Every structure is written in structure tokens, then in C-alpha cells.
Structure 1
Amino acid sequence: MSYDQVLLPSGVASTPAEVDEYLTGQQGLPESEAIAEIAAELNQRNAELPEVDAFLAESPVGGGATGETLYVASDYDAIGHLRGLLFELATPRGYAVYDPQLTWLIDPADSVPVTVNHGGAGEFPYLTRKLVDMWVPELAAPNPYLIVERGPQSYIQTFTDGNGSWALEYRDGGPDRHYGLLLQDPAQVADAIWAWTTGDRGDFDTLPWQRIEF
């Protein structure tokens, strides 16, 4: 069984229903130049690997009448690798990544460039308000955490016990500046993570943070 991911232009859709409508509307249209370039690079990188290490479930990709979209699939053990390549090749060209299995639209519009580690889905190169609002309430076992990093000693992270509590911690330069608290509202957790990510420390600093000793 393969895992599908789809490229489409940033900003053309904001919901799964709008994504489906856009993808349907692109069927039969000539492949765009940018999509052809991305597809060619994916095919080349896949071909450079030994067959046992190939990341495309079906190759070559591209070359169809799909307009400004590109459908790619990988085996499950290559999901993160392929997603990383899509971010590398497509984000600078203004494309979003859609995951139809999770109905996640990962759109770089209004994003902040940080390293995001989603316990259930791997690493992402940016965060948006929509993503943090979507991800935090959905965190679940076996890896119910989300980490947003600017650097090794500058990060914010949350972990949920699955029973309505979210541990939220941030580090501001080193172990001696590590703070945490417990919250019961995932929306408040998402608000705090987004405030930290954007540098909006107004409401963030009014939370009842307590220093964590190591």
C-alpha cells in the first residue's frame, strides 16, 4: 500500500473540500512548467538511488494533464523523506502540500520558518496559525507531542496525557531558562505556541509559568 501526497499552488484552497474542487478543476489541463521541473527533480533523485532505497512508489511521476498539481506516492517508510523533498523543491516555488489521508493542507502562506517536530507525522520546515490550531487538539498516542524550535536552546513544546491535560514548556536560551505549566484547553496551548513562534510575548508572558529545574 502506498501513501499519497499532492502539490498544489499556495493559497488556492483552505479546506479539504476546496482542495478537492481545485484538483478536479485541474484535470485535463497541460502540466505547468514549475510542476514539470519539480517532477523531473524527484524522478532524477529517485533514479540515483539503488532500487531497494527508491522513495517513489510509482515512477516516473509527472507528465500528465494535471495543470498546476502533482500527485506523488511513496511506501510508508518513505513518507517523511518524500515530504521533505516536496518542501525543499516546492515551497520555494510557492506550492502547498496536501495529505489526502489525513486531510492536512500544509500551506506556506503566512508561515513562520521554524523547525516543527510533530510526534505522529515527523518534521516540517514552517508553522502557520492554521496548522497549530489543527495539530494541537489532535495530538494522540503513541507520540502525543509537538515541538517548535528556533535552535537547540530555543524551543517550545507540548505533550498531552490524553486525559484533557497539556504540559507546555519553553526554553529561552538554556536549561536555567526553562519554564512550564499545565493547561486543560488545547486552544490556549495553540495560542501560546503561536505567540512564541511569532514573538508576540504580550499574553504569553502573563501565563503562570514556573521555572523547571534540571
Structure 2
Amino acid sequence: MSFDLAVWFAPAAMSAADAKRKYEQLFEIEPGEIRHPQVAAFYRELTARYPELVDALETGDLEKAPWSAALSRYEDAVVMPISWSFAGVVLRVVLDLARHHGLVVYNPQTGDVHNPAALSLTACDGSHLENPDPAAIRAALQRLSAANWYAILERGDSYVQVGQGKSAGAVGNLYALEHRDGSPDRHYRTDVPSLEDVATAFLAFATHDTTWRAHFEWRKLDF
């Protein structure tokens, strides 16, 4: 008998009943290949740390694999059968990775469901959206003006924000683009020439893609 965990992508927070239903539905589906990018990234990072049983057997590193059987992969989910002796350690790792990639974790032993932090979009004009889609993000950025001079997209204690004009300290036609990666001492700013540059950052942040940061030259802000 194993300690099982399931991880999947959901567009909105799930109740315990919804998560239980989703988990049970997975066993009515034939496992296959992961197609959702966030779930795929989660799986890659997880198996880089804890290789699948077949890979551990081939390399002779069986002690590194905490699994009691092969992981079951679905289009947007992974089910992990964990040996009980590793359950506590692996649970913490899975929770951290799932939180990083914006995924739901379901524990069928207890019925607990761990939803990722909600994504929220707020603008100077008072508009506010929870878990906005790409079209809504672009629409909010298009509404930026001298009066509606900033927008911020945040998840937990991390965010990306943009400001324009004197209120944001932006020079000329430049946009002041900032991001905070967790703690206040990790707050950075750059100035970009186009709204498309801003959209690139906002849309990537929304999907947990951190590669966008390398496209800009940042300076650290001290408060």
C-alpha cells in the first residue's frame, strides 16, 4: 500500500469535493503523455530530484526513488504512489514544486486539497480581476493612460507591475516595469519602450514562466 498524491492544473481554486471528484475521474482515463506546460515542468523538476523507478533501476540509484510504483501521467495531471517511509519528505517537495508552478495538490488519504495562490490583476482605475486570462491582461494594459497610470499582476508575495508618466517616474514614452520576487529586498525595475514588452512580462508571469526576466536589464530597488 502506498501514500498517494495527485497534482494537476485547474483554472480556479477547487473545493475538497471537486478535487476528490477530479481524482476519481483520473482512474477512468488511460494514462498517457503530459501536455499541459505547467504540469510538464513540475514533472521534469520532480523526476530530476526523484527519478522514476525504471530510470533509477537503470542507473543503479534505486535509493533515490521514493516511489512504490511508476508515476501515472495524464494530459494535465500526475499521480504519485509514494513509499510510506518517504511520505513526509516527498509531500513537502511536491507542495513546494506545485506552488511554484501554480498547480493543485490533492491528498486522497486525508482529503486535503492545496490550491495555488490566486493570480490577481489590479489597475489604477479600480478594476480588479481574479485569475485573468491573457485577453483580460492585454485589455488592462491597453487601458493604461495618464490618469490610469499603473497595473499590477500579483500572486502571493510576488508581482510584476507597470507604470507610465510622472506618477511612475517614467521618462518620456518609456514604461516603468518592475517585479518583486518574493521578499521586499528582491524588487527590481527597468524601463521599456513598448507596451508589447510589458505584455511579454505580464503574460509570462501569469504562466509561471521566468525566462522573460532575461530579456531586460534590471536594477535593484532599495526601500
Same fold, judged at TM 0.5 (above): no
Place the TM-score, normalised by the shorter chain, in its bin.
0.3 to 0.5
Q: Which has the larger radius of gyration?
A: 2
Give the TM-score taking structure 2 as reference length: 0.42
